[in-house]
Homo-oligomer: A and B are copies of this chain.
Amino acid sequence: MSGTTPKSKDRHQEILDAAARVITDRGLAETRISDIAEEAGVSPGLILYYFDSKDRLLSEALTYANDQFYLRMSREIRRIPSARDQLARLIDLSVPGLLPEYGRLDEWALWIEVWVRALRDPEMAKDREFLDQRWRGQIADIIRGGQASAEFSSEQTPEELALRLASLIDGLAIQVIMEDSQVTPEHMRGTCIDVAARELGFEREPVST
């Protein structure tokens, strides 16, 4: 925010950010180095000065963006006291387009690109597994907390419950981001909460908001 040019403060990050933005709205396949350069406000040559190749840059950008999302979410969740509210917030943050702060294509669009890449690129596959397990771990932690405070009850392990919830969220988010006419963001939210309530053994709130 100060007057200093961000300059080499971290060109690396600037470029990653620009890349993530471009990928988000053009798609990985339609992303050229020159697009990223333009978005970052630098020359194409500079991109390759900071990254060995386009491929590496793209991979880094994908994991970087997901990392950002996770950290933001994680920080926010940690401040919420009740496990039930934590879970509700996590769900809200997971529903594409529910919160106004995003456009139609949010992190989920990037996430799908990660999947495609991870199918053939072992490096990407490793990163994906790490990110995904961390994400499920986050959910499992919330569940463990809820079990400890007796907010939740279930005969399943937190890990199994987290997997179920995470998978449901993934599957629904895909429908929502695709703008399936039968699956609106609000519908997704309701379904997630409902399944969570059933699996974790708590009652749904009488509807707030």
Contacts and interface: CB of A to CB of B under 8 A. Distances in A.
Interface residues of A, number: 44
Nearest to A187: B163
A129 B179 CA distance: 9
A183 B168 contact: no
Nearest to A195: B164
A132 B172 CA distance: 12
Interface string A169-180: 111101101111
A166 B125 CA distance: 24
B115 A178 contact: yes
* A-B residue pairs, 6 tightest by C-beta: A167-B171, A170-B171, A171-B171, A167-B172, A168-B168, A112-B115
A60 interface: no
A55 B191 CA distance: 36
A64 to B, nearest CB: 19
Main secondary structure of the interface of A (DSSP, over half): helix
Contact of A125 (B133, B159, B179, B195): B179
A113 interface: yes
A116 B27 contact: yes
A177 B119 contact: yes
A116 B116 contact: yes
Contacts of A174: 115, 167, 170
B198 A132 contact: no
A181 B163 CA distance: 12
Interface in A105-123: 105, 109, 112-113, 115-116, 118-120
A128 interface: yes
Contacts of A163: 172, 175, 182-183, 191
